[in-house]
Amino acid sequence: MMLRGMPLADVAACAGFSDQAHMTRHFTKTFGIAPARWLRIAGGASERVVTIVQDRRR
């Protein structure tokens, strides 16, 4: 959901957390990185994959 551009507050609500801060605490404790930071890293990675795939199709 986050990679599709859904706001973190909405992702938290959909996942059953009471608010974004609640989700952020659990995410950070579980993965050792804040969701916003993960999103920057993962979002950049997914953009690179799309670019590679597009380049190979040409």
Res 51: pLDDT: 52
Rounded Cα distance between 19 and 9, Å, is 6
Please write the tens of the pLDDT for every residue from 38-52.
Answer: 988 888 665 554 455
Residues in the chain: 58
Task: Check whether 24 has a pLDDT greater than 70.
Answer: yes
Res 3: pLDDT: 85
pLDDT tier at 56, thresholds 50, 70, 90:
low
Domains of the chain from N-terminus onward:
8-57 (1.10.10)
Res 25: pLDDT: 97
CB 7 within 8 A of CB 13: no
Rounded Cα distance between 4 and 54, Å, is 19
* Nearest one of 54, 55, 7, 36 to 15, comparing CA atoms: 7
pTM, rounded to two decimals: 0.69
Rounded Cα distance between 39 and 36, Å, is 5
